[in-house]
Amino acid sequence: MNKVRFKVVCLFIAALLVVTSAYGQQGKARDAMKKKEKVERSYKKAYQKARKKTIRHRREIQTQKTRDRMDAADKRAENYNKEGDPGFFERVFKRKRYKK
């Protein structure tokens, strides 16, 4: 009877070690993913900041007349791109189709 108890206890300890080591690896993987996402966010933020600065510089080096033409072109483009868009109420109350 003593040997059976010993074997059961050993089996229980071995199972416990396997489960805890697997959980530790999952935690490390989760931490690595969080770190990777944080780095990606920082790269994206730096890119957006540099892009904004470049666009601002491109505008500043132009003459006033050119800036006015650029503004008019941007406004025309915005109006042209909005033509086919549905209105606010159409977007909000649109009947949604669910994928099968």
pLDDT greater than 80 at residue 4: no
- The DSSP result for 40-76, as a single string, is HHHHHHHHHHHHHHHHHHHHHTS-HHHHHHHHHHHHH
Residue 59 is predicted with a pLDDT of 92
More confident residue, 12 or 78: 78
Report the alpha-carbon distance of residue 32 to residue 26 in Å, rounded: 10
Which of the four pLDDT bands, split at 50, 70 and 90, describes residue 64? Answer: very high
Q: What is the pLDDT averaged over residues 51-61? A: 94
Instruction: Record the pTM.
Output: 0.48
- To the nearest whole percent, how much of the chain has pLDDT over 90? 47
Asked if 59 and 70 touch (Cβ cutoff 8 Å), the reply is yes
Report the alpha-carbon distance of residue 25 to residue 48 in Å, rounded: 35
